[in-house]
Amino acid sequence: MDNPFLTRAELLFFQDRHAEALRTARMGLALFTDDPDLLEIVAHCASVLGDVDEAAACWARLATLCPEAAEPRNERAILLGRLGRVEEAEAEFRAAIERAPGWAATHSNLGTLLADLARDGEAEACFRRALALDPDSAVAARNLGQLLLATGRFDEGWALHESRLRETPPVSVPADMPCRFWQGEPLAGRSVLVLPEQGLGDEIQFSRYLPWLKAQGAARVTLVCRAAQKALFASLAGVDQLLALEDEADGLLEAHDYWTLLLSLPFRAATRADSIPADLPYLHPDPLRQAALAPLLAGAGRKVGLVWRGNPAHANDRDRSLPDLSLLAPLWAVPGLRFFSLQVPAQPLPAGLHEGLPLTNLAPHLHDFADTAAVLAGLDLLISVDTSSAHLAGALGLPCWLLLPAWRCDWRWQRGRSDSPWYPRTRLFRQSHRGEWGEVVEAVGRALAGWAAGPPA
């Protein structure tokens, strides 16, 4: 008997109407219990819509119904990892590999989980096995590249990191780009268009390569950035023309010989740990903005900025951000300090904190990164989670104490370091266990007390 619910659910699913497809498939399961195709649609749609538990349960049911199939176990393992059930996730990945040992994607997925658990040797073996099975796997190459970068092996790591461009073409690159992608050709007398990629923090970190690019002989370097960064990047050396993504640029693309991406420049520069461009600061506050915002910081005492949450749309925001500001309450006990919130968008103070909290909210005055830079220049220290404000502090040469998660800590902070070759005045405070911020805040509090009692930096 034909299943009309399946036909309709499939149509909705392929139209990316996931909520309607999920409702239709659920109704179908009420009549066609354990239909594997309906279960698969429910699993996919529930995952897209954020119901990880239901999705994992559907994949578990499919694994029972199809005991020799690898896909349900692989998919369930991915979701179990998202739920923090890492031992079960590893077991499911290994069960999938037993059923389909030649499936490269599962080896790469297991490698990702092992890398998240800092089992780097095992993770590297998984990624290399995936590439042996499928040399064209952009995902496995990118995963291996990031692992190598995290462990300081830059030579191979940067080259493999370029595979990200085969995996997901950057949205900033027009499909009909008329000029050529720069692959290291001589630049003397040539013009280069540099496009943004990934997050705001990435663009701040790798904008340091624009002077290097200009030094390769390029006659003209054009940097395209996000609108919120345009005024900030006006202070950057090595840029002949600066545009925001939103700016009208008729005829601009045709006027360039090459285009490239900010995150490809470390590869082209053959960057090693000892050759990272370190002419700091490489970004500078606008003196007029700095003077206009200085009254907000007026008063005695050392000034400490705080950022406790990143972009909620970030894939790892649940782990990299603090649940709320109250976790930093032990810092208020350090005498002689004044705290300033640079949290944008503004976050309400949690209920129950003492009304005399020594915290000034600067968010209403921060309209773009140039405003944030002007405020940071008047602070003595920034304490931040892993988000763009921390990169901006580093680029400005401001001392920054960075709070890092144990789970999926970004490759750029490398493994086990308390410092960063990218930002010499940045100090890293790391979780030892996933989700446990208490010990991190305690360590920051001890360091803050010593810093406050010491001479000015």
Domain check: are 18 and 57 in the same one?
yes
pLDDT at 248: 66
Domain check: are 113 and 222 in the same one?
no
Measured distance CA(42)–CA(431) in Å, rounded: 36
Q: Are 83 and 53 in contact (CB under 8 A)?
A: yes
Domain check: are 212 and 69 in the same one?
no
Q: Are 63 and 75 in contact (CB under 8 A)?
A: no
Q: Is 95 part of any domain? A: yes
Measured distance CA(338)–CA(435) in Å, rounded: 27
Nearest by Cα to 342 from 410, 398, 407: 398
pLDDT at 2: 67
pLDDT at 334: 94
Tell me which of 268, 296, 314 is where a domain ends: 268
Write the CATH number for 248: 3.40.50.720
Write the CATH number for 368: 3.40.50.2000
Domain check: are 69 and 155 in the same one?
yes
Domain check: are 14 and 128 in the same one?
yes
Q: Which residues contact 274 (CB under 8 A, 6 or more apart)?
A: 421
Q: Which residues contact 191 (CB under 8 A, 6 or more apart)?
A: 218, 219, 220, 221, 222, 255, 256, 257, 258
Tell me which of 237, 268, 299 is where a domain ends: 268
Domain check: are 139 and 163 in the same one?
yes
Domain check: are 232 and 298 in the same one?
no
Q: Give the structural domain span for 122.
A: 4-167
pLDDT at 70: 94
Tell me which of 238, 268, 298 is where a domain ends: 268
Per-residue pLDDT of the chain in tens (457 residues, 90 and over written 9)? 567 888 888 888 888 898 988 888 888 888 888 888 888 888 888 888 888 888 888 888 888 888 999 999 999 999 999 888 999 999 999 999 999 999 999 999 999 999 999 999 999 999 999 999 999 999 999 999 999 999 999 999 999 999 999 887 777 777 778 889 999 999 999 999 999 988 899 999 999 999 999 999 999 999 999 999 999 999 999 999 999 988 766 667 778 999 999 999 999 999 998 999 988 999 999 999 999 999 999 988 999 999 999 988 888 888 999 998 889 999 999 999 999 999 987 555 554 444 566 789 999 999 999 999 999 999 999 999 999 999 999 999 999 999 999 999 999 999 999 999 999 999 999 999 999 999 999 999 999 999 998 877 6
Measured distance CA(228)–CA(87) in Å, rounded: 42
Domain check: are 241 and 340 in the same one?
no
Domain check: are 72 and 210 in the same one?
no
What are the phi and psi torsion angles at 191 (to 5°)? -120, 145
Measured distance CA(247)–CA(173) in Å, rounded: 14
pLDDT at 42: 83
Q: Is 273 part of any domain? A: no
CA angle 358, 362, 368 (to 5 degrees): 155
Domain check: are 296 and 442 in the same one?
yes
Q: Which residues contact 445 (CB under 8 A, 6 or more apart)?
A: 330, 331, 333, 334
Domain check: are 61 and 158 in the same one?
yes
Q: Is 106 part of any domain? A: yes
**Structure-token pair, residue 183:** 């692959």
* Domain count of the fold of the chain: 3
Domain check: are 238 and 306 in the same one?
no
Write the CATH number for 51: 1.25.40.10
Task: Write the pLDDT tens digit of every residue in 243-266.
Answer: 998 876 666 777 899 999 999 999
